[in-house]
Amino acid sequence: MRFKRILLKLSGESLMGQRGYGIDPERLGDYARQIKEIHDMGVEIAIVIGGGNIFRGLSGAGQGYDRVKGDQMGMCATVINSLALSSALGAAGCKNRVLTAIRMEPIGEFYTKWKAIEAMEQGEVVICSAGTGNPYFTTDTGSSLRGIEVEADVMLKGTRVDGVYTADPEKDPTATKFSEITYAEVLERGLKVMDLTAICMCQDNNLPIYVFNMDIVGNLKKVIEGEDIGTWVHK
């Protein structure tokens, strides 16, 4: 087994599946089964999931919403997604716990590093919701922060594409994929792996990132088993 403890970053948009908005139950079920599969292998798992399928604070600000209020709405969207994933994991027979960066008991327990680590060591999947709890930070940055805090071996960034490319492969057919790339090169080339703050945090704290396509069922297990299907981002 390649990793003992992981931080899995999931895209809110991916939860839409074939829909234009909200949560696709089929995609949600696929994610839950993949997560349970690696949990049963003994991997300790923390998860951060975005909220872009419901509301994105930055785009809300562009539509006239106050930026802070918009970001808070986005944080609430991540909580909705986290509760949906928690429910799907429970239905799949996988013990889990939702922690929130903003106090909202009884919806979820208030996040602390030690509570998250203790839950993982006891065999629960931990879902860290509400981002960092602060405006002006993305869930990418929330993922970096939580990954560093819980002392994860790696951040696995599950996306719709199978790695990091020289350009957006959905827009540029000539884009080529990297099998590995340094944080510095990502920053230098301005590649949209994660936002700038998130990349710098991972670089400063030596948290490697592995980008792969989570939407293909079975890929998460392949990553854990060491199959080379994505892109390494490291020092």
Domains of the chain, each with CATH number or no CATH: 5-234 (3.40.1160.10)
Cβ(195)–Cβ(132) below 8 Å: no
Residue 11 makes CB contacts below 8 A (sequence gap 6+) with 49, 50, 52, 158, 159, 160, 214
Q: What is the pLDDT of residues 173-223, one digit of tens each?
A: 899 999 999 999 999 999 989 999 999 999 999 999 999 999 999 999 999
pLDDT attached to residue 49: 97
Q: What is the pLDDT of residues 41-61, one digit of tens each?
A: 999 999 999 999 999 777 777
Residue 25 makes CB contacts below 8 A (sequence gap 6+) with none
| pTM of the complete model | 0.95
pLDDT at 62 over 90: no
